[in-house]
Structure 1
Amino acid sequence: MLKGVISIVVPVYNEELNIRPMYERICNTFDKCDYDFEIIYVDNCSKDNTVMEIRKLNELDARVMGITMARNFGSSQPSTMAGIHYANGNAVVIIDGDIQDPPELILEFIKKWEEGYEVVYGVRTKRKGSILRRIGYKMFYRIFKKMSYIEMPLDAGDFGLIDRIVVDEIKKLKENEIFFRGIRSWIGYKQIGVEYIRDDRNLGNTSIPFFANFKWAKMGIYNFSYKPLEWISTLSLILTMVSLLGIVYYIVLHFIYPETPYGFSTIIVLILFLGAIQLLSLSIIGEYIARIFNEVKGRPRYIVRELITRQPKEQHILEAAATLEEEKG
């Protein structure tokens, strides 16, 4: 008898070459455990044949479901939230559609989940690919951990498993701009990491240019840190003290050495320096204001164009969920 159902949420964009390989590896993985599964591919308005591949799999296996977005909503985060919303399993696994994260690790996630952990996330001890990206990611996670107002695990991406109770809490959140790995840490509950080596992309090309990662990193920092605002206050205090000392210095210098010439270049440098500080401060404040503006509009995180599914809820999912509830009871 099956113990329950695990929902696999797979955000995809231009991943036609990876749709079937992902499905096959997930099938092989669940052949080795006592859980059934459903796969929810969430397409962020791909330009290739990704949706067609999802339709083919849905016709082949009713456990495969597709969600297509009305337009491209930027990052994979809205797609992740859409998949979580439609997931029916007793636990939900988030995994990127490029198969850089190994689906086989889901078995380890399930073991930790059965031990009582409500959140199990993958920790990338090593990643393959461009050395520039590897260095950039390493730096980001350490800066992010240092700046965040909550405890953030190092080198942990979205890949992981969350229990149904955590899923229900995440679905209650109303904020528009979601940074999933930050939200996952903020939610709390009993959490643990599982180490693994992240592969390089095998098929297709990445849809995220290198410099687009800066926008993604900035979103995480501004959503989970007040440090930039605190730095503005600290810098303002330091500059005020330096200015007061400068005023006292020039007053004393005027009386001791009245013939001392005043430097025109010094004034220019100070004006440029203070101007740069002011612009930097305004840009940081502007980032927070832009996020406030985005939240108060109250627009939905995403708009679903179509659900690719045979039934609203598969009978085997309902039966497995009922069985699990009986066992808990």
Structure 2
Amino acid sequence: MANEVNFPPEVTFEYVFVNDGSGDDTLGALQWAQAQYPGRIRIVDLAGNVGSYNAIVAGMAYATGDCLAVITADLQDPPELMVKMYDHWRQGFKLVIGNRQDREETGLSQTMAKVFHWLMKNLALRNIPDGGFDFVFFDRQVATEVLKLHERNSNVFYLMVWLGFAYVNIPYTRRKRQIGKSRWTLSKKIKLLIDSLMAFSFVPIRAISVLGLGLGVVALLYGFYVIVLKIARPDEPAGWTTLMVVLLFVSAFQMIALGVIGEYVWRGLDAARKRPLYVVNKTYEEAPRR
């Protein structure tokens, strides 16, 4: 909270912490912090683990400020950048994005991040900044519009860009994690990629249509070839190998197509259920008495 001194003196703060069904003593640590700063901290304790993005939505629902900021707790993103973000908000920008222009991380993590954001920018939302982002500062109106969407299996940060508000992008270098180990596993990253592409892009279905049309043309030409071959050489035995290759190729395409269509159908079913994104166990508005 020492960084508050960099803001104008008339700015007041609230801190909303969402305990996303943690199995350790996170709630106890948050209650201790709340006791140290009475009236400043609100704790939203979720009944179970619903994932980081749904937890962010829960925090947005319980925040009361004129503007909000979302930043991860691992301090890889510079909190001091929020002062500059606030200045842009005062100038009228409803969305300010802290954009990861570069990373101190190396190896597979960096490569996967670059691939993910390249795919999203080229196949889904072309107006997102290069390098990706999850450090944002935004107006109350943006939060209200995101909450009204009730999106499931989506990417809350990309939803903010999708809304269409003009935004300003502030590049920075993402720091290397110094403390603890990230729980952002490979399976979660893959799920996020699939969810993001399915939520913002029709490219997978369009690709199936184009590929299916291309295969249809090839099959038609091959059919003409077989007919001509049969007329020219009536004694030519049927090619079992060719038949099996064609059969396996078409069957493989059908399985891929069913898998992609199944992803969309599952998301439609999940949305039709209208289950809540999160369930709040309890909120702690005031510091607990000791």
- TM > 0.5: yes
Aligned partner letter, 1:108: K
2: CA distance, partners of 1:155 / 1:310: 39
Please name the residue that 1:240 is paired with.
216
Counterparts of residues 33-182 of structure 1 (less than 5 Å): 33-34=7-8, 35-61=11-37, 62-73=39-50, 75-148=51-124, 151-182=127-158
- Is 1:29 aligned with 2:8? no
Distance 2:14 2:40 in 1: 5
Aligned residues of 1:69 and 1:302 also touching (Cα < 8 A): yes
Structure 1 residue 282 corresponds to structure 2 residue 251: no
1:214 corresponds to which residue?
A: 190
SS at match of 1:203: coil
Find the counterpart in structure 1 of residue 170 from structure 2. 194
Code of the residue aligned with 2:3 in structure 1: it is: T
After TM superposition, the structure 1 stretch with the greater mean CA deviation from structure 2, 230-239 or 283-292, is 230-239
CA distance in 1, matches of 2:70, 2:125: 24
**Counterpart position of 1:302:** 278
Inter-partner Cα distance in structure 1 for 2:184 and 2:56: 16
- Asked if structure 2 preserves the Cα contact closer than 8 Å seen for 1:142 and 1:154, the reply is yes
For structure 2, the 5+ residue unaligned runs are: none
CA contact (8 A) 2:101 2:130 kept: no
Residue 272 (structure 1) aligns with: 248
Query: Could you tell me how far apart the structure 1 residues matched to 2:153 and 2:194 are?
Result: 12
Give 1:162's aligned amino acid.
F
Q: Distance in 1 between matches of 2:125 and 2:13?
A: 36
Q: Which amino acid aligns with 2:91?
A: E
Partner residue of 1:14?
Answer: none
| Contact 1:121 1:161 (8 Å CA) reproduced | yes
Structure 1 unaligned residues grouped into runs of 5+: 1-26, 312-329
Partner of 2:286, secondary structure, is coil
Q: In structure 2, how many angstroms separate the alpha carbons of the residues matched to 1:262 and 1:98?
A: 65
CA contact (8 A) 2:146 2:156 kept: no
Deviation at 1:241, TM superposition (A): 0.6
Aligned residues: 284
Cα deviation digits, residues 231-284 of structure 1 (max 9, x gap): 111111111111100000111112223343432122111111111100000000
Query: 1:149, 1:132 → 2: CA distance?
Result: 24
Shift of residue 149, structure 1, vs aligned partner: 5.4
Amino acid at match of 1:309: E
SS of 2:17 mapped into structure 1: strand
**What RMSD in Å do the two structures reach over aligned CA positions?**
1.5
Q: 1:226 aligns with which of 185, 196, 202?
A: 202
One-letter identity of the residue aligned with 1:65: R
Output the CA distance in 2 between the equivalents of 1:186 and 1:209. Answer: 26
Distance 1:109 1:86 in 2: 21
Are the counterparts in 2 of residues 101 and 159 from structure 1 also a CA contact under 8 Å? yes
Kindly state the Cα deviation for residue 177 of structure 1 after the two structures are TM-superposed: 3.0
Distance 2:235 2:84 in 1: 78
Query: Helix, strand or coil: the match of 2:44?
Result: strand
Identity of matched residues, %: 30
Report the TM-score when normalising by structure 2.
0.94
Amino acid of the residue matched to residue 169 of structure 1? E
- Report deviation, 1:49: 1.6
Query: Contact between 2:125 and 2:162, CA under 8 Å: does it hold in 1?
Result: no
Residue identity in the other structure for 1:63: R
| Offset at residue 129 of structure 1 (A) | 2.3
For residues 36 and 108 of structure 1, the distance between their equivalents in structure 2, rounded to whole angstroms, comes to 16
> CA–CA distance in 2 between the matches of 1:187 and 1:151?
11
